[in-house]
Structure 1
Amino acid sequence: MPEKKQRPLSPHASIYRPPAAMMTSIMHRISACAMSFIGAPMLVWWLWSLAEGPRTYEQFTGFASSWLGTFILFGLSWCFFQHLASGIRHLIMDIGAGFELKTAQRGALATFAISAVLTVAFWTVLTLK
């Protein structure tokens, strides 16, 4: 009986580090889904509560100002800024810039940094009023 060849093992999940560009692409899709399936219904609920009257609007603002509502709105704002930063990165790449490996990696990581800074700045401005 012939001996079986030793095949190389795939990188194990514990040592594999996903590239920044891959994580940016995944987060771009996740943020779009979150804004579509959570953000759009929240927007419709807000608009409906405005049209329905003060009592319904108070119910919406009661939920929106609760810890769960604030958590959801904070997450949605981060999704918006992440999607925006990633879209701008893609726009830059569409014009032919940013394809060098180091530049692409820095651009991908920059989307996360920009979205975090913009989210914190947005909520800081909101809480100042």
Structure 2
Amino acid sequence: MIAKTYSNRPKYLNLLKIKQPLPAIVSIIHRITGVLLFFPGIPVLLCIFQDFLGSQESFDYLQKNLQNPLMMLIILPPLWFFFHHVCAGIRHLLLDQHIGVELQQARTSAYLVFVVGIMLTTLTGLLLW
């Protein structure tokens, strides 16, 4: 009989087939929203502010464009990015202080990040329009 040898080569892991727990998903989305808020979020926001502060005509033009329903739909995802990132950031700060590190608490706080982020986005969207 031939003895079976094991290789030290790394194994291939298909991350799309692995079922991630909810806290891991929240952590991954927290990183993604942070990147999206940084770029293109900050440059786009700075361009809007530059136009906004340029003149009264540019302010009126921007204000008129923000009332467009399509523009409202375009603004909702960045709002959710912001609120999710803030809520997940607060969750991570609490975890760094060893608050909510037990498994059930971590799952509950991850679920709350999603719920609160969506609620804040909905409320802000309703208040803006």
TM-score by shorter chain over 0.5:
yes
Aligned to 2:9: none
Match in the other structure for 2:102: 100
Q: How does 1:29-48 map to 2 (within 5 A)?
A: 29-48=31-50
**Count of residues in correspondence between the two structures:** 126
The amino acid that maps onto 1:40 is I
CA RMSD of aligned residues (A): 2.9
Number of the residue aligned with 1:90: 92
- C-alpha spacing 1:34/1:64, structure 2 compared with 1 (3 Å): farther
Deviations along 1:31-88, whole A, 9 cap, x unmatched? Answer: 1112111321232122211332133334434544445532331111101110111011
Aligned sequence identity (%): 27
- Kept after mapping to 2: 8 A contact 1:46/1:57: no
- Aligned partners of 1:83 and 1:12: how far apart in 2? 23
What is the CA-CA distance between 1:2 and the residue it aligns to? 4.0
Q: How does 1:1-129 map to 2 (within 5 A)?
A: 2=2, 13=16, 16-127=18-129
CA distance in 1, matches of 2:48, 2:93: 32
Moved more, 62-71 or 100-109: 62-71
* TM-score, length-scaled by structure 2: 0.78
